[in-house]
Amino acid sequence: RQSSRISGILQSKTLDDNIQIQGWVKAIRKQKEITFIDVGDGSSHQNLQVIVPTSKLPNGLGFHSCVSAAGILKSSDHPNQEVELIAQQVKLHGATNQTEYPFKARKKHTLDYIRQHVHYRSRTNTFSSLLRVRSQAKYHIQDYFNQEGFHIVDTPILTSNDCEGGSEVFVVQPGPEKSKSSFQSEDKSYFNKPVYLTVSGQLHLEAMASGLSKVYNFNPAFRAENSQSRRHLCEFWMVEAEESFLQGLEGLQALMNRIEDLLKHTMRKIVELQPEDIFFHWKQNPETENLVKLALEQKFLRINYQEAMNILLANNSSFKTKADYGKDLGKEHELFLTQSLGNIPIFVTDWPKDTKAFYMATREDQPNTALGVDLLLPGVGEVAGGGLREYRTAVLEKKLIMLDLQNSLDWYLDLRRNGCAPSGGFGLGFERFLQFLLGTPNIKDTIPFPRWAKHCSC
Ligand code: 4AD
Ligand code: MG
């Protein structure tokens, strides 16, 4: 017989139905005659209570054992659920060795502890609800872009370009060794040039936007950051969008509208469609509910770098690292800004051009100001970054020559030489977005298998 998913059973609540379920034991309450077993199968946050004669319990049944049970669905007196399964038998598929198994019933494990057993994490309530939210958020993001006429483009993981120029690239293949003599010049390497793992698909997206107009990707990005911070991973997922025909100050406003729309759409869908998963997290991080609701109700604030700096410099004594005019913002500055401006999301625009990468366009009336934007979210800080792209061939060429990138990025310059459209785009850090939505203190608890410096388990 086919087993049913527990979420479906709890939704339809068809009494007296003969059903079979399978899943993992989340709680056992043993009495003399009968035993109550809560079984969860990952389909939703809820478990189904199974009632079985104690004499029929299989040996070795314990917390997180894998079981199946068949019986009749009846209405329940249980305060938290309307139906329960009256089973004649429970079949044990996989016992758990209760002395070795790291998770215990009725024990509150910390996220740091749970993370040490990353391969078992999907059985815990906290992590399974994160995984469901993550899965659906990915779907809603794609749904948003689809509705808005964007095409998904899979940008490469292996690349010979370092898009951000921060040199935090993972090298897959170093450059070919310079041979000592021209007689032994056979190059044994796979590629004949340096190749890295991508830090961002932006440059490739720009190429595809100059033909499809509206494109996006949803890819892993790799950055060899040596940071032990709670908001950096060395493998993270980024949603990047690129849109042709965005230009000037108006284009930058349109880009911010796009980012705000995408975030609101995705947050609204999750709150509407997965209330149990989301409330479970909000209960553990009580201030998050208010922050997400504010972000949904309010228009995101838009300030420029100068205004941000005025606030920071007036409060500079309160920072560990002082804010410095002309420099990028640190996490403490970002958090201070969102907190002091009403705990709502803030776009910061008009950055000093030296704080941004070579591809960023500058303002026509202020050549030292980049048409870039960072989105800061309360409690997390920068969650998205983007801007308009430099499309003047001569200006871009000069910058590339200065950075000695004119050869490796000749193809990028070519896009300006032929059929160039002004464009703009952004990258949203998917894990940082989940951190905001759920209030997750550490980014490592928003991704199934986190990787960071010195850590690549499983
Ligand atoms: O601000 P970033 O570096 O922007 C870019 O890569 C652009 N090329 C994007 C574009 O315009 N297409 O990265 C974008 C976002 C950041 O705002 C942050 O949320 C996230 O990616 N991010 C990280 N998330 C987790 N761990 C890291 N090490 C991250 N580095 C960046
Ligand atoms: Mg950035």
Ligand 1 atom closest to Cα of residue 387: 11
The vertex-404 CA angle with 416 and 157, nearest 5°, equals: 70
Q: Which tokens sit at 323?
A: 């804010």
Q: Residue 306: is its pLDDT beyond 70?
A: yes
pLDDT-derived band at 162, boundaries 50, 70, 90: confident
- The two three-digit tokens of residue 50, written as one number: 């199974």
Would you state the pLDDT for residue 80? 83
Please, which pLDDT band fits residue 145 given cuts at 50, 70 and 90? very high
Cβ 225 under 6 angstroms from ligand 1: yes
Instruction: Report which of residues 439 and 225 the model is more confident about.
Output: 439
**Ligand 1 centroid to residue 346 C-alpha, Å:** 16
Domains in the chain: ranges and CATH: 6-107 (2.40.50.140), 122-183+191-445 (3.30.930.10)
Closest CA to 353 of 420, 402, 313: 402
pLDDT at 183: 57
Give the pLDDT mean for 288-298.
98
Indicate if the pLDDT at residue 74 is higher than 60: yes
Between the alpha carbon of residue 56 and those of residues 59, 60, 74, the distances in Å are: 9, 12, 19
Whether 165 shows a pLDDT value over 90: the answer reads: no
Q: What is the pLDDT of residues 243-264, one digit of tens each?
A: 999 999 999 999 999 999 999 9
Q: Which ligand is nearest to the CA of 357?
A: 1
Q: Which residue has the higher pLDDT, 421 or 165?
A: 421
Evaluate: CB of 431 within 6 angstroms of ligand 1: yes
Mean pLDDT rounded to a whole number for the chain: 94
Span from the CA of 155 to the centroid of ligand 1 (angstroms): 15
Q: Give the residue, out of 236, 328, 374, with the most ligand 1 atoms within 8 A of its beta carbon, to mutate for a pocket test.
A: 236
Q: Answer whether 62's CB lies under 8 Å from 83's CB.
A: no
Q: Which atom of ligand 1 is nearest to the CA of 374?
A: 17
How far apart CA 423 and CA 390 sit, in angstroms, is 8
The tens digit of pLDDT for each residue in 14-57 reads 998 899 999 999 999 999 999 999 999 999 999 999 999 999 99
Q: What is the pLDDT of residue 177?
A: 63
Whether 201 lines ligand 1, by a CB cut-off of 6 Å, is: no
With cut-offs at 50, 70 and 90, classify the pLDDT of residue 1.
low
**pLDDT 10s digits, 354-392:** 999 999 999 999 999 999 999 999 999 999 999 999 999
Out of 6-10, 13-17, 84-88, 400-404, which region has the weakest mean confidence (pLDDT)?
A: 13-17
166 CA distance to ligand 1 centroid (A)?
A: 12
User: What is the C-alpha to C-alpha distance for residues 138 and 346, in angstroms, rounded to an integer?
Assistant: 23
The pTM for the full model equals 0.96
Contacts 24+ apart (CB under 8 A), 272-280: 273/136, 274/132, 274/133, 274/136, 276/44, 276/45, 276/46, 276/129, 277/44, 277/45, 277/129, 277/130, 277/132, 277/133, 278/129, 278/133, 278/437, 278/438, 280/45, 280/125, 280/126, 280/129
* pLDDT for the residue 189: 85
pLDDT of amino acid 289: 98
Instruction: Tell which atom from ligand 1 comes closest to the C-alpha of 241.
Output: 12
Rounded Cα distance between 334 and 314, Å, is: 14
Contact 155, 198 (CB under 8 A): yes
pLDDT in the model for residue 166: 72
- Report pLDDT digits (tens) over 111-126: 999 999 999 999 999 9
In order of 343, 440, 441, 455, the CA distances from 284 in angstroms are 19, 9, 10, 26
| Residue 341 φ then ψ, to 5° | -110, 30
pLDDT band for position 94 (50/70/90)? very high
pLDDT tens digits, residue range 382-423? Answer: 999 999 999 999 999 999 999 999 999 999 999 999 999 999
